[in-house]
Structure 1
Amino acid sequence: MSQSTTSLVQELQTLRDFIRWAITSFNRHNLYYGHGTDNAWDEALHLVLGSLHLPWDTDQRLLDARLTQLEREKLLELIRRRCEEHTPLPYLLGESWFAGLPFKVDPRVLIPRSPISELIENNFSPWISEAAPPRRILDLCTGSGCIGIACAYAFPTAQVTLTDISEDALEVAEDNIARHHLQDRVFATASDLFSALQGERYDLIVSNPPYVDATDLSLMPDEYRQEPELALAAGEDGLDLVRVILAEARQYLSDQGVLVVEVGNSEEHLQALFPQVPFLWVDFESQARGVFVLTAEQLDEFQADFAAAVNDSSS
């Protein structure tokens, strides 16, 4: 431990001291906030309280509680890593929240932040009827498993399949299935998109696939560069996987099924590629964009266009 760190361990004593010190440290460094917070104050609050297993809305009377030396040393190390290494906060804490639920996360998986959480919390209304909830759900490119697991909570009678090409990601997803005690209804399977799902049919397919185009990938802040590139990069226009999903999803979707896909900033590329397709772009209360909905009927109608796009991209 350096002399300056040793001094800080002695000088900083309370929760309030560390929150203030973290804010000062964050403001001195060129940090990017995009993994659950959007400012230094909230980031500091979540880091200090989260690392001590205290809720973010802890009673303010606790802020002047003195910390043990081990706690002070741990907090200083986390603040150092956040500032010097630009490690995202959820990786430091080993946890992220999605749709009101906690999930284990580490550098093997993307940090949950999809606006699809809002759709899940609204049970995908109006595209899914309350009178006919999905019996089988597929979370394609699952990562941590957060989307599929949240869907299992939203639809308590549904069976949910989580798929990913990354064995590392599937290990995290399995841990999250066990954390939420859903082993009887949620199953993780290694699959390159639909390759391991022959003969299966789902009433709801939800996907947050890699969709970052080459330009956006080159401009990403350091925090995002610590996430697995496999979960982000998707070719020059960000649509390498989305083309295949559109071309193949209908084979795995029930006749009354719905496909929901997030494409983020690649929305403009998708609209330019398929100007004839009436993608329904979801309006979110959070003002997020880049998530579309298509029905099985629409996938049937434009199947030839989707197949042609895959062929064109591979030629």
Structure 2
Amino acid sequence: MTALRQLEFPDAAPLELVSVGDWWRFAVSCLVRSDAEFGQSSADAGQDALFLVLGALDLPLDSFDQMHGFALTNSERKHVFNALRKRVLDRVPTAYVLGFAEQMGLRFLVDERVLIPRSYIGELLAGGLHDCINDPASIASVLDLCTGSGCLAILAANAFPDADVTAVDISADALDVARENVALHGLDDVVSLHQGDLFAPLGKARFDLIISNPPYVTAESMAMLPQEFRHEPELALAAGDDGNDILRRMLQEAKAHLTPDGILLVDMGHNRDLVEAAFPRLPFMWLATESGDAGVFMLHARDLP
């Protein structure tokens, strides 16, 4: 039982909470007292509360400074209250409560069929991959493996507007969500979606750039996942004892699907040490972002076995 349950979360929206700022403060307090976990599109209680309150009110997520003093209507208060109740008592991640997440300023529809977007590859794509690619116009084809919601495929289509983008996922449910997102962003003619296990549905196709945020959670970490993370599909998280089960297969097959000057870009989260231990002969280049040292590595096609 959480601390918040012991304190008896109110049965109705407190009347003394009037403004957007009031609700943000209350949400922060609730998240902290309930020992909520973060890391699924928000880093801490303050960010999560902003996302929840502004998102529930259909306000831009960067509008708090302008909106914090505005009063909520009765129906808005009830809506924010119900969203917060679901977040702190049922431990549902905010993105699932709201039905969307934002990455690099773009909105993506999400639910429990897909991982909540949070890969650092998104930030690298928004920056044009300057550390990896001298001429973005040279990228004519991009593959997003384990696409989930389709967010990285869509960000890649924006980063390389002249490229054809292919996205693959083993989950038909995930591809249903990706299809909605591709349509939402008007990219049906640019992003093609395929169901299958890694490269299996692609034949002999080759790509200038392959990106992936594959499952990489170790068995030990899976056993200790906080409740919020258990709402995400296990298929998108679990990757064996050392977190490299999917990566091993990807590295074995990737060279056959890259052009001679092609690049492989993979987000392995906090598993850098595990990756380097498993593949000591590969010359991984680990890329940093403005948000910090990301767990994203780059390999050239010529470096792959």
TM-score by length of 1: 0.89
Alignment match, 1:260: 265
Alignment match, 2:221: 216
| 1:201-280 matches, cutoff 5 A | 201-280=206-285
Q: Are positions 1:283 and 2:293 aligned together?
A: no
How far the C-alpha of 1:281 sits from its partner, in A, is: 1.5
| Structure 1 residues 273 and 43, CA gap change in structure 2 (3 angstroms) | closer
Structure 2 unaligned blocks of 5 or more: 1-7
How far the C-alpha of 1:70 sits from its partner, in A, is: 1.9
Alignment match, 1:45: 50
Q: Deviations over 1:178-209 (max 9, x none)?
A: 01001111111101101111121111010111
In 1, the alpha carbon distance for the partners of 2:288 and 2:17 equals 45
How far the C-alpha of 1:4 sits from its partner, in A, is: 4.5
Amino acid in the other structure paired with 2:162: T
How far the C-alpha of 1:61 sits from its partner, in A, is: 5.7
Secondary structure (helix, strand or coil) at the match of 1:114 reads: coil
Amino acid in the other structure paired with 2:181: N
Residue of 165, 182, 185 corresponding to 1:180: 185
Q: Contact 1:9–1:69 at 8 Å: present in 2 too? A: no
The percent of aligned pairs where both chains have the same amino acid is 43
Q: Contact 2:150–2:167 at 8 Å: present in 1 too? A: yes
Name the structure with the higher helix share: 1
How far the C-alpha of 1:151 sits from its partner, in A, is: 0.5
Q: Are positions 1:54 and 2:59 aligned together?
A: yes
In 2, the alpha carbon distance for the partners of 1:273 and 1:39 equals 32
Secondary structure (helix, strand or coil) at the match of 1:210 reads: coil
Secondary structure (helix, strand or coil) at the match of 2:18 reads: coil
Q: Contact 1:109–1:227 at 8 Å: present in 2 too? A: yes
Matched residue count:
298
Q: Deviations over 1:226-254 (max 9, x none)?
A: 11110000111111110110000111111
How far the C-alpha of 1:101 sits from its partner, in A, is: 1.4
Amino acid in the other structure paired with 1:32: E
Alignment match, 1:307: none
In 1, the alpha carbon distance for the partners of 2:9 and 2:199 equals 55
How far the C-alpha of 1:42 sits from its partner, in A, is: 2.5
Q: CA RMSD in A?
A: 1.9
How far the C-alpha of 1:9 sits from its partner, in A, is: 4.9
| Structure 1 residues 121 and 63, CA gap change in structure 2 (3 angstroms) | closer
Q: Are positions 1:74 and 2:79 aligned together?
A: yes
How far the C-alpha of 1:81 sits from its partner, in A, is: 0.9
4+ aligned runs moved over 6 Å, structure 1: none
Amino acid in the other structure paired with 1:189: H
Amino acid in the other structure paired with 1:174: R
Alignment match, 1:298: 303
Residue of 24, 30, 54 corresponding to 1:25: 30
How far the C-alpha of 1:3 sits from its partner, in A, is: 11
Q: Are positions 1:5 and 2:14 aligned together?
A: no
